[in-house]
Structure 1
Amino acid sequence: MLKGPGRISGAFVAMSFRARESATETRMGISVSRRVGSAVARNYMRRVIRECLRSCSEPRGPLDIVIVVRRAFGRREFRSVCDEVRDMVSAAGGGAVADLA
């Protein structure tokens, strides 16, 4: 598994991740800038991302993951955003990490 930080970018979100050496669980954070939209829109985006993360399987190994929402997120269809987030989390925890970083 990759030791240093990694980044994966998509159409709706960007994700940074790093392996945690002395931990046993994965930590995840969500960042939504004020430039993305109103408070109501930002909270909606956080709720969508959190729900996507709940439905994801836990990545292999303990990781620190930060998801940054992009302006293109808007009011996109839930399924398309979830698919992108799920693919990113599985890539971060799977064997494809070295290829993406």
Structure 2
Amino acid sequence: MFKDGRSTANRQLVVYVKDKPGQADFRVGFSVSKKIGTAVKRNYIKRCLKEAIRHLDKDLGEKDLIVIARKPVCSMDCAEIDKSLRHVLKKAGFSREKS
């Protein structure tokens, strides 16, 4: 699916982006491996990522995103995860935020 997409990463997260012309909104998927920790920790990380995405501008275009958490994210709190996600999305070309 993402063969013709592009990826951007930092130490904590990887983001795969694929343009989807004709799609109404952007879609986001999250992947947090069992290597990260217990189910409680993985769900905490996914909740933090979802909250960070919620604060982004909803007019990001016709794209699909996949966010993959790496091992260093397990020692971060929600504010640090939010900052890391903003950093990797800025590197990927998403710099607009909800006002």
TM-score (norm 2): 0.80
What is the count of residue pairs matched by the alignment?
92
Counterpart position of 1:99: none
Counterpart position of 1:5: 5
Work out whether residues 13 and 88 of structure 2, in 8 Å CA contact, stay in contact via their aligned partners in 1: no
> Is residue 14 of structure 2 the alignment partner of residue 14 of structure 1?
yes
Counterpart position of 1:33: 33
Structure 1 position 59, deviation (Å): 5.3
Counterpart position of 1:98: none
Work out whether residues 45 and 78 of structure 2, in 8 Å CA contact, stay in contact via their aligned partners in 1: no
More helix by share: 1
Q: What secondary structure sits across from 1:35 in the alignment?
A: coil
- Between the aligned partners of 1:91 and 1:58, the Cα distance in structure 2 is 18
Q: What are the ranges of 5 or more consecutive residues in structure 1 without an aligned counterpart?
A: 96-101
Between the two proteins, what is the percent identity of the paired residues?
22
TM-score (norm 1): 0.79
